[in-house]
Each structure stands twice: as C-alpha cells, then as structure tokens.
A and B are shown apart, each in its own frame.
Chain A
Amino acid sequence: DTEVTQTPKHLVMGMTNKKSLKCEQHMGHRAMYWYKQKAKKPPELMFVYSYEKLSINESVPSRFSPECPNSSLLNLHLHALQPEDSALYLCASSRQGNEKLFFGSGTQLSVL
C-alpha cells in the first residue's frame, strides 16, 4: 500500500463552523506533513509530525489545530476560519525527514 488517503476531497464551511480534515497512510512512515496551497503557488509548509510528535509549526494561526492520534493518522482541525483560508490542503508522508514525499490527493477547502 503506497497511498496517502485524504478525506474529504471537497469541503465548504462557514466562518463559524468546526470541521476536520483526515489523512491516513499505512506505509510505516514516521514523518507526516500538512501543506496549504493557493492557486498558482507552491505548497506552503504548515505542520510536521515526526514520530507522532509535533516537530514543526510554521507560525500557523491557532484556528488550525493539528493532531496525530497514531503513526498512521493525521488530522487537521479547523475552527473559525477566514475566507482567505480557502485553499487546497495537502497531506504528505515520508519514511523519515528528507526522503521522498508521498502526497494525498488533497482537500479543496472553501470558507464562506
């Protein structure tokens, strides 16, 4: 199994809603990542988990809250988002740091 599975594929939410994005991999990878990508821009690093511990937070606003319940699962909890948070959210994993990244298909998020 060489897949990273992300759900949902599309999400529309209001500014007062709470929602969660889910990412799962069963490749035994110990590094997992959240990226945000705006149209025509490169993916921007948000968070990195290494061995289920948060190792990198790129000064992301607290309305984004990551969680790594176990080595296969990564969540991104969303609360009180702004319209400018609308973007493609990509999850990725790698065996360890600085190795090939495997990406999920992403969640296209629209905040109204």
Chain B
Amino acid sequence: QQPVQSPQAVILREGEDAVINCSSSKALYSVHWYRQKHGEAPVFLMILLKGGEQKGHEKISASFNEKKQQSSLYLTASQLSYSGTYFCGTTYNFNKFYFGSGTKLNVKP
C-alpha cells in the first residue's frame, strides 16, 4: 500500500544533481517529503497539496503530478549535508500516513 520510490539508492559527488521519484498505485491527494539521517528521526522537507504544484527552494524542490499519481524531488548542486534517506509519504485515509519505500542518498566529496 505504501508509495514506491526510485531509485532505491544513489551516490553523488558534491555539486551533482539528483531526482527521486515517488509513485502510488492509489490516488494521491497530497505528498510529503522527509529526510532521515542515520540514527535520527525523519525531518519534514515539504508538502504538496495540489496536482501541478511545485515547491521548494533553489536547491531542493519537488513537483506533484496528481493525474499520474507521482511526485519527484529535485536536489540541485548537492552538498554533503544532503546525505541521508529520503522518504515521500501520503495520507490515503484521514490520519493514515504512509511512508514510501525510501531512497538512500550518499553525497561524496
């Protein structure tokens, strides 16, 4: 039932870009993105509430295609601090929040 993310893992050099995809077999009405560093709790990055919405800052942004039931997270000019596991997530029923399968990002110097 959880959203599926791709790729499962990615290794980048500092300054490189990455795209993480999140897709759902069920209708998506909103998408959250979180980053979790090893041994820590997930930290909220952003939420997209409407199809076609794009959000974020210059270097970390996301888009949401409601019709395709997909969202993508864009990481531009990656920094070492971007390393961690990224999770998308969504609420299928009110309050039932499910995380996606996760994408492990490793940024190397």
Using a CB–CB cutoff of 8 Å, the interface residues on chain A facing chain B are 31, 33, 41-45, 48, 50, 55-56, 90, 97-106
From B12-20, B53-61, B70-78, B99-107, the one touching the partner chain is: B99-107
- Judging by beta carbons under 8 Å apart, are B2 and A42 in contact? yes
Using a CB–CB cutoff of 8 Å, the interface residues on chain B facing chain A are 2, 29-30, 32, 34, 40-44, 47, 87, 89, 91, 94-102
Enumerate chain B residues within 8 angstroms of A31, measured Cβ to Cβ. Answer: 95
Query: Contacts A98-B30, A104-B41, A105-B41 hold; do A43 and B99 have CB atoms under 8 A apart?
Result: yes
- Judging by beta carbons under 8 Å apart, are B2 and A98 in contact? no
- Judging by beta carbons under 8 Å apart, are A42 and B41 in contact? no
A-B contact number at CB 8 A: 54
Enumerate chain A residues within 8 angstroms of B41, measured Cβ to Cβ. Answer: 90, 103-106
Enumerate chain B residues within 8 angstroms of A45, measured Cβ to Cβ. Answer: 96-98
Query: Contacts A41-B102, A42-B102, A105-B40 hold; do A100 and B97 have CB atoms under 8 A apart?
Result: no
Distance (Å) between the CB of A32 and the closest chain B CB?
10
A97 to B98, CA, bound (A): 12
- Judging by beta carbons under 8 Å apart, are B100 and A97 in contact? no
Shortest Cβ distance from B101 into A: residue: A42
Enumerate chain A residues within 8 angstroms of B98, measured Cβ to Cβ. Answer: 45
